[in-house]
Structure 1
Amino acid sequence: MLQQPTLNALRQLNLHAMAEALDEQSRLTQIQDLSFDERLGLLLDRELCARDQRRLTRLLKLAHLKQNACVEDIDYRGSRGLDRSKVMALIQNTWIRQGHNLLITGATGTGKTWLGCALGHQACRQGLCVRYLRLPRLFEELRIRHGDGSFGRYLTTLAKVDLLILDDWGLAPMNAEDVRDLLEIIDDRVNQRATLITSQLPVNHWHEYLGEPTVADAVLDRLLQSAHRLELKGDSLRRHSDGRDTPKVDAS
């Protein structure tokens, strides 16, 4: 068989990983012992793996996750208050596909951001679109877009994200315009797309934080329905700075 034309054809079809694998097979004498179906299967596996990796790289780049975290490193020590079975259910990402929300609360340093990013990374692994935003910077971005006329387009973009991670909820004060913009974002996603929120504030303080009672009622009604909750406990993980017994989860 003339192999070079086959390699050229594979590359023209953008099957570059498959072409690379075929070229490698040509240099392995033991590969000749395999059947055609077995060799073809190996080529297809290489191409699929390469495409999965490219997709993951693209999704992670778009996600802008703050922490390089993965679910395999979650620390389930008892003092943190994490229910392993509940977290394992969340890792399956059914809640994201069903458009449910996840609220992660706890004191500063207990690993809320890290855990949120780990779940975001897991969602990217399963081909879901994720976007991480710190709430204070989100409001800065929205003010700019109000000014340049791109506010509506930006809302449309956020509405299409499978999982929107809003970090540092309650860290900075919100004005009336911020609360109304937040309602627009949440309303576009209710029962359609998942939202993950991390906050130092307990959920029962969120109404007071949002300020305007009517708008606060609307925001919380949309957020709390079909919402999963995780409350992290224990001391700040940042205190483990001597290199001994350093927890795997070390974010805010």
Structure 2
Amino acid sequence: MLTQQTIAQLHELKLLGMAAALRRQLEQPASSDLSFEERLALLVQHECDSRHERRCARLLTQAKLRYPQAAIEDFDTRPGRGIERARFMSLVLSDWVSSGSTVILTGATGCGKTWLACALAQYACRQGRSTRYLRIPRLAEELRTLQAAGSLTKWLAQLAKTEVVVLDDWGLVGLDAITREALMEILDDRAGSGATLVTSQLPVDHWHAWIGEPAVADAMLDRLLAQSHRLVLKGESLRAGQRRPTATKQRIDA
């Protein structure tokens, strides 16, 4: 049958969205009322939408977010969190990614910093932006593995091309020499050209001392803070409400 042959050819050409749309048109009698141009436009639009969805899914997988299901639509901006919805949405819809800005999220443990960073990164993926999540306490181990394999330079080059990088738990553990040097390279590559999301329990005023080397700290903070948006989250730990109550063992006397 000619139609089945056409669908098979579309699959062969990897026009999967168009093939699915054509099959749907054949199953809907009302489609015959449309002109050739209208039906073709719908097929092309469906192919574009399908490719965008596949690209977003691929970007989200490559991002390796800690909370890949986090979404800005679900963020809790109730009073007391320290973030007004209007300000939050203004940031989300701004050009912070295109302009290579830094978004700094600080606050006590459990207040939702990492979740919010992942939500912003997930939204960037939905906009077709390449993203990568890195957790600072585990970065040293990853860097040593890359260095041993001789692929550290290549990894840094790939990271430099990534549009959004998440640096989670900044300031949580001390920096060793290799991590400090790598972070300097990462931030230098991104200055003014790549967006960076930073989460930290440590107030920004204490970052210089945490980095350790005064000259390197000056250079890092110059690149991080020159074009930055700062959000301070407040309130009680959100994890407290997620903990299950410990089962109480009852003693039964015979």
Residues 11-30 of structure 1: pairs in structure 2 closer than 5 A:
11-30=11-30
In structure 1, how many angstroms separate the alpha carbons of the residues matched to 2:90 and 2:37?
Answer: 37
8 A Cα contact 1:176 1:212, kept in partner? no
Superposed CA deviations along residues 161-207 of structure 1, whole A, max 9, x for unmatched, are 10000101111111233222211111111111111100000000101
Residues 95-244 of structure 1: pairs in structure 2 closer than 5 A:
95-241=96-242
- The one-letter amino acid paired with 2:23 is D
Q: CA deviation at 1:66?
A: 0.5
1:153–1:242 Cα change, 3 Å = closer
Structure 2, unaligned runs of 5 or more: 245-254
Could you say what secondary structure the match of 2:172 adopts?
coil
1:26–1:177 Cα change, 3 Å = closer
Q: CA deviation at 1:124?
A: 0.2
Could you say what secondary structure the match of 1:237 adopts?
coil
8 A Cα contact 2:106 2:199, kept in partner? yes
- Greater shift after overlay, 82-91 or 194-203? 82-91
Could you say what secondary structure the match of 2:86 adopts?
helix
In structure 1, how many angstroms separate the alpha carbons of the residues matched to 2:78 and 2:28?
Answer: 48
Find runs of 4+ consecutive structure 1 residues off by over 3 angstroms: none
1:13–1:147 Cα change, 3 Å = closer
- Greater shift after overlay, 205-214 or 35-44? 35-44
8 A Cα contact 2:102 2:224, kept in partner? yes
Q: CA deviation at 1:242?
A: 7.6
Structure-2-length-normalised TM-score: 0.90
CA RMSD of aligned residues (A): 1.7
In structure 1, how many angstroms separate the alpha carbons of the residues matched to 2:62 and 2:199?
Answer: 20
Could you say what secondary structure the match of 1:78 adopts?
coil
Residue number in structure 1 paired with 2:250 = none
Q: CA deviation at 1:89?
A: 2.2
8 A Cα contact 1:82 1:230, kept in partner? yes
Superposed CA deviations along residues 206-235 of structure 1, whole A, max 9, x for unmatched, are 011111111111111111100111110111
8 A Cα contact 2:170 2:201, kept in partner? yes
Q: CA deviation at 1:93?
A: 5.2
Superposed CA deviations along residues 89-128 of structure 1, whole A, max 9, x for unmatched, are 2222511111111110000000000000000000000000
In structure 1, how many angstroms separate the alpha carbons of the residues matched to 2:243 and 2:193?
Answer: 45
8 A Cα contact 1:183 1:215, kept in partner? yes
Residue number in structure 1 paired with 2:95 = 94
- Greater shift after overlay, 47-56 or 190-199? 47-56
- The one-letter amino acid paired with 1:125 is R
Could you say what secondary structure the match of 1:169 adopts?
coil
For these two proteins, the number of residue pairs brought into alignment is 243
In structure 2, how many angstroms separate the alpha carbons of the residues matched to 1:195 and 1:44?
Answer: 35
- The one-letter amino acid paired with 2:211 is L
Q: CA deviation at 1:156?
A: 0.5
8 A Cα contact 2:140 2:178, kept in partner? no
Could you say what secondary structure the match of 1:144 adopts?
helix
Could you say what secondary structure the match of 2:97 adopts?
helix
- Greater shift after overlay, 43-52 or 104-113? 43-52
Residue number in structure 1 paired with 2:43 = 43
Superposed CA deviations along residues 104-157 of structure 1, whole A, max 9, x for unmatched, are 000000000000000000000000000001012122111222333222111101
In structure 1, how many angstroms separate the alpha carbons of the residues matched to 2:27 and 2:128?
Answer: 34
